[in-house]
Amino acid sequence: VPELPEVEYAARTLRRAALGRRIVAAAAPSAGRRLFRPGTPAAVVRALAGARLAAVERRGKHLLLTLEARRGPLGLLSHLGMTGRWLARDAAAPAAPHARLTLRLQGGRALDYDDPRLFGRLRLVPGARFDAVPELAALGPDPLHDGVEAAWLEAALGRTRRPVKVALLDQRLLAGLGNIHAAEACWRARLDPRRRADRLGPARARALAAAIRASLRHALAAMEGPELVYVEAGGPNPFRVYAREGERCPRCRAAIRRTVQAQRSTFWCPGCQR
């Protein structure tokens, strides 16, 4: 579920359902083996009960929740991994099938953190001191909050010899792109994803910076307005090249190809991406 747009969606879900509300009860439904992974303290459950959600922030693919607990401010850092989702429901409705954490809210609503594959993470941050969390400090700029400037991007990519699409997945470089939007951005920039990151040149860097913004903005646009529209895996494919191997490129009609880079599928058009 998780690239920048989906995490932004989760942030909005959390704000709409729970901002300013108190958590009446917290539980980790442990049906069968659906438990927290090692390293994730069940203490999360205890710490959250009674706290009030004061702020929800997104940095790259991380969600930063600030709570007012009895003992003062408390942070909850949430990363959705591959299949994590925050879902809001009526407290009386059944919990999500793979709910790892359920928060019952003041006012009759509830939140589920649902994650079948358990690649996601939940961590308490004492005092909500997010500045002291190393993995957050290591993140590159967030394309949505901080923008992506062409000259900066060219310089940043110039520090690695990896293929440009692989470099775009590096969260230390830029925080928020994942396998879909890295590929989509390359397509929008007419850029061969296999091109070495340090061999872009200013024109391609400029095109790529604009393409990153466009790709994310396009995905985010679906979430504007009163209805949050969620891009479901299994639903219609809203992307230009992602998961479209063999289909025709919407720009030049050549057949889209799939190649593997860094153990991930890359979809691209050999006709118009150079």
Which residues share a beta bridge with 77? 64, 123
Rank residues 171 and 220 by Cβ distance to DNA and give the closer one.
Answer: 171
DSSP at 196:
B
With CB under 7 A as the contact rule, the residue among 12, 21, 34, 218 that binds DNA is: 34
Measured distance CA(102)–CA(159) in Å, rounded: 43
Is 263 one of the binding residues for DNA (CB under 7 A)? yes
With CB under 7 A as the contact rule, the residue among 119, 130, 220, 270 that binds DNA is: 119
Measured distance CA(160)–CA(230) in Å, rounded: 34
Is 143 one of the binding residues for DNA (CB under 7 A)? no
Is 257 one of the binding residues for DNA (CB under 7 A)? no
Q: How many CB atoms lie within 10 A of CB 228?
A: 13
Measured distance CA(180)–CA(70) in Å, rounded: 41
Site for DNA in 168-207 (CB under 7 A): 169, 171, 178-180
Contact criterion met (CB below 8 Å) for 165 and 192: no
Is 137 one of the binding residues for DNA (CB under 7 A)? no
Is 162 one of the binding residues for DNA (CB under 7 A)? yes
Is 1 one of the binding residues for DNA (CB under 7 A)? yes
Which are the contacts of 264, defined by CB distance < 8 A and separation ≥ 6? 169, 179
Measured distance CA(163)–CA(193) in Å, rounded: 6
Q: Which residues are catalytic?
A: 2-3, 61, 264
With CB under 7 A as the contact rule, the residue among 58, 59, 61, 85 that binds DNA is: 61
Binding-site ranges for DNA (CB under 7 A):
1-3, 6, 33-34, 37, 60-61, 79, 81-83, 98, 116-119, 135, 160-162, 166, 169, 171, 178-180, 231-234, 258, 262-265
